[in-house]
Amino acid sequence: MHDWIAVVRENLNELDLPAEQEQAVVTEMAAHLEDLYEDYLRKGLSDAEAFQCSLEQATGLRTTRRKIRRAKCKEGLMNSRTKTLWLPGLATLSAASISLMLLQQFAYLHPEVWQKDGGALVVDLPWLLLLPLCGALGAYLSQRARGQRIASLVAGLFPSIIMFAVFCVLIPVGVLVERNQFIIHHPTYFMLALVNWTVIPALLLFLGVVVVWLRSADREALPSRAS
Amino acid sequence: MNAQIPSKIARGSAELAILALLNEQPLYGFQIAKHIEERTGGVLRFTMASLYPMLYELEKRGHVKGSWESNEAGRDRRYYSLTTVGKKALAPLRREWRAFFHALDTLTGFSHA
Question: CB-based burial of residue B29 (10 Å sphere; 0-12 exposed, 13-18 middle, 19+ buried)?
Answer: buried
| Average of per-residue pLDDT values in chain A | 84
The residues that bridge with B77 in the sheet, in sequence order, are B69
For the question of whether the overall pTM of this predicted structure is more than 0.80, the answer is: no
**What are B16-61's pLDDT values in tens digits?**
999 999 999 999 999 999 999 998 888 888 889 889 999 999 998 8
For an interface test with B, give the residue of A17, A32, A72, A144 to mutate (most B CBs within 10 A). A32
Cβ pair B58, B64 in contact under 8 A:
yes
Better-scored residue on pLDDT, A75 or A192: A192
pLDDT at B87: 92
Instruction: Identify all chain B residues contacting A227, using CB atoms and an 8 Å cutoff.
Output: 98, 102
Percent of residues, chain A, with pLDDT higher than 90: 44
CA of A59 to nearest chain B CA: how many angstroms apart? Answer: 9
Where are the extended beta strands (E) located within A93-160?
112-116, 119-122
The helix (run of H) or strand (run of E) holding residue B28 is: strand B27-28
Cα of B3 to nearest chain A Cα, Å: 13
**Lowest mean pLDDT, pick from A46-50, A201-205, B3-7, B72-76:** B3-7
Calpha distance A152→A141 (Å, rounded): 8
Q: What is the DSSP letter of A111?
A: P
Model ipTM? 0.85
Across the interface, of B61, B75, B95, the residue whose CB is closest to A223 is B95
pLDDT at A76: 55
pLDDT band per the 50, 70, 90 thresholds, residue A152:
very high
| Local confidence band at A183 (pLDDT 50, 70, 90 cut-offs) | confident
Please give, rounded to a whole number of angstroms, the shortest distance from the CA of B106 to a CA of chain A. Answer: 12
* Exposure of A42 in the CB half-sphere (CA atoms within 13 A): 6
- Hey, is the C-beta of B69 within 8 angstroms of any chain A C-beta? no
B75 contacts on A by Cβ (under 8 Å): 31
Q: What is the pLDDT of residue B112?
A: 67
Under DSSP, is residue A9 helix (H, G, I), strand (E, B) or coil?
helix
| Low-confidence winner among A21-35, A111-125, A127-141 (lowest mean pLDDT) | A111-125
pLDDT value of position B5: 42
Please tell me which residue of chain B has the smallest CA distance to A226.
B99
Q: What angle do CA B9, B66, B36 make, to 5 degrees?
A: 40
Residue of A nearest to B76 (CA): A31
Of A28, A76, A227, the CB nearest to B29: A28
**Mean pLDDT for the stretch of residues A170-181:** 82
What is the bridge-based pairing of β-strands A119-122 and B76-82? unpaired
Q: Strand, helix or coil at B76?
A: strand
In chain B, what is the straight-line distance between the N-terminal and C-terminal CA atoms, in Å? 18
Instruction: Say whether pLDDT at A164 is over 70.
Output: yes
Query: What pLDDT is stored for residue A203 in this prediction?
Result: 96
What share of chain B in percent tops pLDDT 90? 44
In which band, very low, low, confident or very high, does the pLDDT at A227 lie, cut at 50, 70 and 90? very low
Mind listing the pLDDT tens digit for each residue in A190-209?
888 888 889 999 999 999 99
State yes or no: pLDDT of A225 exceeds 50.
Answer: no
**Chain A closest CA to B77's CA: distance in Å?**
7
Residues 6+ apart with CB under 8 A from B112: none
Residue of A nearest to B48 (CA): A57
Give the torsion sign (CA, A41, A43, A48, A51): negative
Give every CB contact of residue A92 below 8 A, 6+ residues apart in sequence: A134, A135, A137, A138, A155, A156, A157, A158, A159, A205
